[in-house]
Amino acid sequence: MQNLLANLNPEQLAAVTLPAQSALILAGAGSGKTRVLTTRIAWLIQTGQVSPAGILAVTFTNKAAKEMAARLSAMLPINTGGMWIGTFHGLSNRLLRTHWRDAGLPQTFQILDSQDQLSAIKRLLKAANVDDEKYPARNLAYFINSAKEQGLRAQDVEAFDDYNRKMAELYALYDEQCQREGVVDFAELLLRTYELLSRNQPLREHYQSRFRHVLVDEFQDTNDLQYKWLKLLAGPRGAVFAVGDDDQSIYAFRGANVGNMAAFEQEFCKGNLIKLEHNYRSHGHILDAANTLIAHNSKRLGKNLHTDAGHGEPVRIYEASSDLQEAQWIIEEAKSLVAEGAARSDIAILYRSNAQSRVLEHALFSAGIPYRVYGGLRFFERAEIKHAIAYLQLMDNPHNDSAFLRVVNFPTRGIGARSLEQLQDAARQYGISLYAAVPYITGKAGTSLGSFVKLIEGMRFETQQLPLQEMVEVVIDKSGLIAHYRNEKEGADRIENLEQLVSAASLFVNEEGFGNDAPALLGPRARAQAGVVIAEGVEIVDADAPLPTVMSPLSAFLSHASLESGDNQAEAGEDAMQLMTVHSAKGLEFSMVFITGLEEGLFPHENSAKEDGGLEEERRLMYVAITRAMRRLYLSFSQTRMLHGQTRYNMKSRFLDELPEHALKWLAPKVQHHWFGNQRSQHASAWDDAPETGVNTIAQSLVNKGSGWRIGENVSHAKFGEGVIVNIEGSGNNARAHINFGRQGMKLLDLSVAKLEKLHTA
């Protein structure tokens, strides 16, 4: 027993050796919570308080469950195979398999994953003759899963309007279909288990008696149904050992309820609250930044991380003039770290939104630095980007059968497998491409395929004189991709990525010197070289004609996209830099961390202002990002950023103002100065002395004629708060400014009468 408890700090020891009663362990980042949880289980077994079969341990991932079992096997000579250690869904499945008859399920019931569930819902809508445009399958899936996660059946859902009433009716039909087919979805596993134990008293009392010790990891991530599930299994006499950190609750969009921790303390704990505040991961300045930031949240149980590792290096903060300069600075800093002996895999670049990875990936690709996108796909490998690229490929070269097959029925336009079989048969018969074979298909299939060809030709006609970035805008809109993803539960990220494709096209045009007004498509002569002939409004393609010798901006961009998606991909085991969203970074740690894009509207995200508790969740997300860093932490933001195909002028994130000055070191670019009016930054001492010619090009070129104000200047207004000047019209006393006041929106103010104050960037 002495060996089991060796090397635990006083708080960890107190948690592990608590009496057999419920307790809440408030475990800060890097405080050894997994060790406490597994040691608690081992100690209970070793001291004879419970047998391995009397333990119920709940985790949130299968990986965490396997790690817990492996650690237990290393601590004690026991067989963990029969222990009830697993996720909520895994344990529910185990219970339902054992009691399938009582649960009203067939013995061989099947589990639907998210794609299977979507397919089942589409079948239901078709069978019920429901308009899937008015009631999209993805929306119905979200409605059903959200209701189940709240413990609600169709008859329990509040039908406050006709739309909601119809969705509830479809939910009921879906439940009937699943029951008839003997299948359950993920949310059903938990709800069915909860209902079974609620109504079956002997079964409930059996499990409550068996599992006298219930241990839960990542308790802050539980939703309403999971919390009720735990309370039901624990019963009035069970001891629930809940480990979590309310400051790291960042999954509200998945239904997690951070309030469950406070509720658990009131209902179960009765004073048994232990805080694990000794951090074994990060240096002091990093922890000071995290502690001071999160203290601005009002609804928290409260803790303060500390370390014995010393203060370490200060948190470095960098202000860039643009997102491109920000990315280049990160590359140079990373190169220096590697030159000093750091492994690339020790360096992580974190961002709030997936769409931000595009500029970073481009910079890494250009610098020839291997990188790996963790928990997601590289920008040009994401499904929505590949769909958009396929449309562009067809406009550039209709012979591309792979591109044709990818999007001919995406978004759905009624072109099924049988229609495509007919088309492929015709293409083989005449030795031509699928696109060229469309006129040979008759009937309904021919009409649908012909409509698709007309869509492509219509987009080509509309965009033939447009520059590349405008062409991409038209394509992602007219193709129906934007409208399609608006109907998805998490489609906002995909739409952001599609809009970033416009930014990628704009950057490519500038870098390759095509000129912003160069038409993206080839002219008639070059197209004739490619064997393209227009006859009676229909394009006829000669598949054997040579490709044009002149490459259009579109062709060049498509080649560039293919290269970036393939080249520089880090091989398995290769030392590579790590890129990821902050959500993906939770649970990980890195020696050096860059947190990018710290601007109002980006981090914190602009949507946070629209949601109750949204800003506090964004602050918790920033707290998670900071506490990923072990030795060095870099924070960066930029004055301008290309988002959604447009240049945006930014204010720095409020989170930077919430950090302790003593833990920070403000950096400055060595070439460019940032001037606002006639003032330098309040951190001017950090700037290198350079000649006036080094003045920031944005500010230099946008001095207003006699108004005394500049585009990009930070200002304050008594009514609207802090903002940034985006544009200035007129001059002198007639000057008016377009000012972005963040959450207050864009305002047009007369500069001769508006009472504005100049602010200096930190």
Q: Write down the catalytic residue from 17, 34, 179, 700.
A: 34
Distance (Å, rounded) from C-alpha 433 to C-alpha 542? 9
User: Above 50 in pLDDT, residue 265?
Assistant: yes
Q: Which candidate, 717, 587, 684, 637, places its Cα nearest to that of 330?
A: 637
Q: What is the 3-state secondary structure (H, E, C) of 247-294?
A: HHCCCHHHCCCCHHHHHHHHHHHCCCEEEECECCCCCHHHHHHHHHHH
What does the pLDDT look like over 431-479, one tens digit per residue? 888 998 999 989 998 999 999 999 999 998 899 888 898 999 999 999 9
Phi, psi (rounded to 5 degrees) for 724: -135, 135
Q: Write down the catalytic residue from 218, 326, 333, 599.
A: 218
User: In the numeric block, which tokens belong to residue 61?
Assistant: 């991932």
Helix (H, G, I), strand (E, B) or coil at 406: helix
What does the pLDDT look like over 634-686, one tens digit per residue? 999 999 888 766 788 888 999 999 999 999 999 875 433 333 333 333 333 33
Q: Is 378 exposed, middle or buried (0-12, 13-18, 19+ CB in 10 A)?
A: buried
What is the structure's pLDDT at 566? Answer: 55
Sign of CA dihedral 693, 698, 704, 709: negative
Please state whether beta strands 577-581 and 679-680 pair in parallel, antiparallel, or not at all (unpaired).
unpaired
What is the structure's pLDDT at 107? Answer: 84
What is the structure's pLDDT at 486? Answer: 85
DSSP string, 196-211: HHHH-HHHHHHHHHH-
Q: Which candidate, 578, 560, 561, places its Cα nearest to that of 370?
A: 578
pTM of the predicted structure, to 2 decimals = 0.75
What does the pLDDT look like over 627-638, one tens digit per residue? 999 999 999 999
What is the structure's pLDDT at 704? Answer: 45
Q: Is 493 annotated as catalytic? A: no
Distance (Å, rounded) from C-alpha 20 to C-alpha 18? 7
Q: Is 270 annotated as catalytic? A: no
Least confident of 3-12, 165-174, 285-294, 608-617: 608-617
Q: Which candidate, 495, 471, 493, places its Cα nearest to that of 483?
A: 495
Peptide bond into 467 cis (omega under 30): no
Q: Write down the catalytic residue from 217, 265, 470, 616.
A: 217
User: Above 90 in pLDDT, residue 155?
Assistant: yes
Q: Write down the catalytic residue from 11, 12, 33, 221.
A: 33
Q: Is 218 annotated as catalytic? A: yes
Strand partners, 556: none
Q: Is 33 annotated as catalytic? A: yes
Q: Which candidate, 590, 526, 574, places its Cα nearest to that of 554?
A: 526
What is the structure's pLDDT at 246? Answer: 92
Q: Side by side, which strands form the sheet with 55-59?
A: 84-87, 55-59, 213-216, 239-244, 23-27, 273-276
Least confident of 150-159, 254-263, 340-349, 739-748: 739-748
Tell me which range, 51-65, 478-492, 583-597, is most confidently predicted by mean pLDDT: 583-597
Distance (Å, rounded) from C-alpha 17 to C-alpha 755? 63
What does the pLDDT look like over 373-391, one tens digit per residue? 887 777 888 889 989 999 9
- What is the torsion angle, in degrees rounded to the nearest 10, for the CA atoms of residue 595, residue 599, residue 601 and residue 604? 50
Q: For residues 215-245, b (16+ Cβ closer than 10 Å) or e, as one string? A: bbbbbbbbbbbbbbbbbbbbbeebbbbbbbb
Q: Write down the catalytic residue from 226, 248, 596, 761.
A: 248
User: Above 70 in pLDDT, residue 528?
Assistant: no
What is the structure's pLDDT at 525? Answer: 47
Q: Is 647 annotated as catalytic? A: no
For 310, half-sphere exposure in the C-beta direction (CA atoms, 13 angstrom radius) is 5
What is the structure's pLDDT at 606? Answer: 87
User: In the numeric block, which tokens belong to residue 438?
Assistant: 């469309």
User: Above 80 in pLDDT, residue 568?
Assistant: no
Q: Is 66 annotated as catalytic? A: no
What does the pLDDT look like over 715-740, one tens digit per residue? 888 888 888 887 777 777 777 787 87
Q: Write down the catalytic residue from 300, 358, 382, 628.
A: 628
* First vs last C-alpha separation in the chain: 54
Contacts of 157 (CB under 8 A, 6+ apart): 147, 164, 167, 168, 171
